[in-house]
Amino acid sequence: MISSIASSLSLLSSSPHNKLSIDLRSYPSPKQRRCSVLCSGVRTAARRQSRDLSATEARVSLVLALASQASSVSQRLLADLAVETAKYAFPKRFNSSNLEEALMSVPDLETMNFRVLSRTDRYEIREVEPYYVAETTMPGGNGFDFYGASRSFNVLAEYLFGKNTVNEKMEMTTPVVTRKVQSVGEKMEMTTPVITRKAKDQTQWQMSFVMPSKYGSDLPLPKDPSVKIQEVPRKIVAVLAFSGYVTDEETEKREQELRRALRNDKKFRVRDGVSVEVAQYNPPFTLPFTRRNEVSLEVESKEY
């Protein structure tokens, strides 16, 4: 049957009016068709498995990449932590004038620049270069009560660590400076008869963080309106260092000690109307006898 059909097709294809040519050997038999379907299924399954393996490999690669990135970040964080820890674990020391001062140490952080003009066994005279501070007024009349000092410290620390207009974290510096300021109160409007009244003077305290010098006057602006940026001009100060923890009573005692000692200074005297400043260089966990604190008073030359 097949041979007769093939003969007929062959005759048709040999006709000059027909160019059709069919090779029946190329037409698959039923057995070949079954094999083709089976092989096609195998190839499809292989491709699907290949795609599954590729997806799995991609997930594994992603996990490994994330793990590698996390490891890299962890290593950087550990390195940064080591650097920061070293600043406190390996502190620096100022030149000492007595045994108490010789035991004091300060973290290896940036501080204001100054030049020592003279030194005695109790105090030294420094010429301090201009610098910038972020400052806030402390609540209450006491400068070193836990509530007021902690609240002010936290407000300034928030500014330093990113609560500013550019969300920039700045490096920690030293010392933290606290100073007395006089509040003159509120001046009332003029009436008739002419009566001008001023509220009773009150002593307040301001806490300041010394700002990193690399910013100069281009410091980020605080988001908290209670934080002010101020430039401290060049000045000459007398400084008395002491260890331990700072209290209002200790500050008063050290200020009076410094004022008495300066009465005998041949070159410098305390400027009229200045208030004491207290500088604290160490974090709270520092041992009391190794802590460095300073009271300072602005002075002027006795020579005109």
3-state secondary structure 245-263: CCCHHHHHHHHHHHHHHHC
Residues near 160 by Cβ (< 8 Å), separated by ≥ 6? 134, 169, 170, 172, 209
Structural domain boundaries of the chain? Answer: 94-129+234-303, 133-183+201-232
Of 38 and 74, which is predicted with more confidence?
74
Question: Worst-scoring range by mean pLDDT, 57-71, 90-104, 185-199, 216-230?
Answer: 185-199
Q: Which among 250, 266, 206 is positioned nearest to 230, based on CA atoms? A: 206
Mean pLDDT of 246-268: 94
Q: Where residue 183 falls among pLDDT bands split at 50, 70, 90?
A: low
pLDDT at residue 204 in the model: 78
Q: Within a 13 Å sphere around the CA of 299, how many CA atoms are in the beta-carbon half?
A: 29
CATH architecture of 133-183+201-232: Alpha-Beta Barrel (3.20)
Long-range contacts of 263-270 (CB under 8 A, 24+ apart): 265/125, 265/238, 265/299, 266/302, 267/118, 267/125, 267/301, 267/302, 267/303, 268/125, 268/236, 268/238, 268/299, 268/300, 268/301, 268/302, 269/299, 269/300, 269/302, 270/238, 270/297, 270/298, 270/299
Assess contact for 199 and 186: CB atoms under 8 A. yes
| Global pTM value | 0.67
DSSP line for 125-154: EEEEPPEEEEEEEESSS-SS-HHHHHHHHH
pLDDT at residue 296 in the model: 94
